[in-house]
Chains A and B, each alone.
Chain A
Amino acid sequence: MRGNAFDNKGESGPSPRRGSGLWDWLNRRTGLDDLLRSALDEPIPGGARFAYIFGSGLLFIFISQVITGIFLALYYVPSADHAHTTVAYITKTVTAGSFLRSLHAYGASAMVVVLFLHLSQTYIYGSYKGRREILWLSGCVLLSMVLAMAFTGYLLPWDQRAYFATAVGTNAVSEVPVIGEYIKRLMRGGTEMGTLTISRFFVAHVFFIPACIFALVASHIFLFRKAGAAGPMEEDPYNPKEEAELFYPRQVLMDLSLTALLIAGLGLLCFFVPMQLGPPANPADAQYVPRPEWYYLPIFQWLKYWHGSIAIVGVLVIPTLLVLAVLALPFLDRSVERRPWKRPIAMAAYSIVVFSLVGLGLRSRYLDRHDPGVTLQLAKQQAEEDAYMRKPFEPELSSASLAAANVTLSDPLAAKGKTIFEGRSCSACHGDGGVGTAAAPALVGISAKFSPDQLAALFKHFTPKMKAGGMPAIDLPPDDLKALIAYVESLK
């Protein structure tokens, strides 16, 4: 079997050297050498080429996304209350935070670019032919997973851009007849976007989709090794005849050159043009003009053309047919011919799709540039983002502090009570603003349980629980007692 290192020379030849070093010991225990050999001694018919570097490039970006994503989760909190604050904290305060967040965000774009190159190479070289149907299908599912990761991750910073782009994106889903509205509600966790939407997108982005991607990447690589490298476009996809060269070293070096390019490119980009964060999402902003990330612009523009009764054609029929055609490709195209110039239909279809996507994206940009209203608003939004980035990070006031700060002291009696509350060390146990501590319960909202008269009675005759808790006797003149009760009742 080709591509299986377990029947290569290393096994049939003399047994591996029996050294006494650590490496040899580790080898005897783990079989690491065999594993490495099976990874590196993959035969490539026709020899190493730069055309084959994109798959490992994708693997590199994926690993980078996983690592940066895990680190970002050190500070990120997925809730409508805190998401934006925590991303602002990462971006503006945490050392290397802006760099890592940029690496993660630009990494998504890099992923889409390299994925497009990988897919194009596979398509143009006819590498999906010759018992590679499932390999192709797993690649298609991976493509959709990557796009889903980009979509779900985009919302998480919860700034204006993220909020409105996702509002539009989820609204587009509701255009699907019959079940569209239901799917939209399922994605949003309700009819409107809110904190439940963040939770759902976060779980999809961090747990669900990555788990699927891990499994699919493993099966994609396994299926690739099982089928073997397809080699150049003149090669027979079933029984390669050209002389094979092993993956290591030349192909490894070529693959590493792309990795080096990605590291340098992304590193410089993230360092010199870090990803911005806009002001926090304001759902009430009716002026905001949402625009998706560049890779979703073609779909965004496409959906603009389909309205009313024919919407179903553009929203459902054509995309479904396109997806089915892509999935069915290796089943429909059974010829062994791989040279693109001998496959005019396949190449025409590819060109039409690529030109349509690029055309739609450019059209969207063109329309934005030639609509003075939109241009003005987009410039304003950019200016707001720039202004927000210049502001220093402002920590979020904790809810307990807010409760304490919000105590309405318009009533002078309650204001006097507050002084007594603090002066008599009530706050030592009941907390500032009566928010409660480990030593004594919260007093916030106590007016719902006790009327002022009941409180006055309670202050004179403690319950056994209050006595047991060490509540000191309240020995106050009647006026002060009244003020204290007024203050405690005002705690909401």
Chain B
Amino acid sequence: MFRGGFTTHDPQVSPTGPPVESRRSFLGVLLGLGSFFVGALLAVPLVRFALFPLLRRTTETKNSPLGELNELSSLTEPVMHTIQMEQVDGWRKAISEKVVYVTKDSQGQLCVLSAICPHLGCTIPWDGDKKQFVCPCHDSVFAADGARISGPSLRGMDTLETSVQDGQLLVRFQYFRQLVSDKEVIG
């Protein structure tokens, strides 16, 4: 049986092995290392649990349908559409409605514009009489294809990524940095 504390300074020599003290301190190191490794192993799920939001994108954007491609291709001027965007924030989600315009670019191809003004973020209405987009906040003016005409905005209206699936035009809504001359995705 082991006797005495591990500060014993007159090591008892056991008949078969090394002095008791060295055997005990060896055991101590072994136990310390063992506890450390078991503790580290147990900490793995804790760390993974705590880091989950950093390793997983919390905001996911989905493609929203805008309508039949055939019907849309016959349009003559920009048409406003309201799409629903789902933003997932941890265990909750917010559904916000975003306004986009389906229009034709300079080559006559269908394109989708974000209605958010690249100047300061107001929603830009289509002025059917002037055949222009006119921002109500600071009077930035854009052409039907979204190109900048006049006003404080530094760039034209932002085009959104589109795709076609089963004859449906889909759009992926994104936010862009305001007050800069080049389109730059944020969030």
A: residues with CB less than 8 A from B are 8-10, 13-14, 16, 37, 40-41, 47, 67-68, 71, 74-75, 82, 85-86, 88-89, 93-97, 99-100, 245-246, 248-250, 252-253, 256, 260, 263, 393, 395-398, 400-401, 404-405, 419, 422-428, 432-433, 470, 472
Contact = CB atoms under 8 A, between A and B. Distances in A.
4 tightest Cβ-Cβ pairs between the two chains A and B: A425-B123, A89-B91, A96-B45, A395-B93
Contact of A396 (B46, B93, B121, B122): B93
A268 B43 CA distance: 16
Contacts of B38: 260, 263
Interface of B: 1-9, 24, 27-28, 31, 38, 42, 44-46, 48-52, 55-56, 80, 82, 88-97, 99, 115-117, 121-126, 135-137
B7 A250 contact: no
Q: Which residue, B4, B6, B7, B80, has most C-beta atoms of chain A within 10 A? A: B7
A41 B1 contact: no
A422 B82 contact: yes
Contact of B31 (A252, A263, A427): A252
A431 to B, nearest CB: 9
A423 B80 contact: yes
A74 B93 contact: no
Contacts of A405: 95
A10 B91 CA distance: 56
Contact of A89 (B2, B24, B90, B136): B90
Given A74-B50, A100-B46, A249-B2, A85 B7 contact: no
Contacts of B135: 425
B2 A95 contact: no
Given A96-B48, A425-B136, A41 B5 contact: yes
B122 A428 contact: yes
Q: What DSSP secondary structure best describes chain B's contact surface?
A: mixed
B96 A9 contact: no
A489 to B, nearest CB: 19
Contacts of B122: 425, 428
A64 B93 CA distance: 32
A483 B1 CA distance: 93
Contacts of A401: 93-96
A81 to B, nearest CB: 10
Q: Which residue, B38, B45, B117, has most C-beta atoms of chain A within 10 A? A: B45
Contacts of A252: 31
A424 B125 contact: yes
B66 to A, nearest CB: 15
Nearest to B46: A71
A422 B92 contact: no
Given A9-B8, A13-B7, A85 B91 contact: yes
A370 B180 CA distance: 75
A419 B45 CA distance: 49
A404 B96 contact: yes
Nearest to B93: A395
Contacts of A82: 91
Contacts of B42: 263
A400 B1 CA distance: 71
Given A13-B7, A246-B5, A396-B91, A432 B123 contact: no
Given A9-B8, A37-B7, A47 B91 contact: no
Contacts of A96: 44-46, 48-49, 52
A40 B45 CA distance: 30
A466 to B, nearest CB: 14
Contacts of A250: 1-2
B124 A246 contact: no
A393 B122 CA distance: 35
Contacts of A422: 82, 97, 99, 123
Nearest to A97: B49
Contacts of A99: 45
Contacts of A246: 2-5
Given A97-B52, A398-B94, A425-B117, 9 more contacts: A96-B45, A245-B1, A263-B38, A422-B99, A424-B125, A425-B115, A425-B125, A428-B123, A432-B96
A470 B126 CA distance: 21
A433 B96 CA distance: 9
Given A95-B55, A100-B49, A9 B4 contact: yes
Nearest to B1: A245
Contacts of A97: 49, 52
A89 B58 CA distance: 13
Contacts of A93: 52, 91
Contact of A71 (B27, B49, B55, B80): B49
A299 to B, nearest CB: 33
A67 B116 CA distance: 47
Contact of B24 (A100, A249, A260): A249
14 contacts: A9-B5, A37-B6, A96-B45, A245-B1, A252-B31, A393-B91, A395-B89, A395-B90, A422-B97, A423-B123, A423-B126, A426-B123, A427-B123, A472-B137
Contact of A37 (B2, B5, B126): B5
A397 B52 contact: no
Contacts of B126: 423
Q: Which residue, B51, B96, B124, B137, has most C-beta atoms of chain A within 10 A? A: B96
Contacts of B51: 95
A32 to B, nearest CB: 13
Nearest to A101: B49
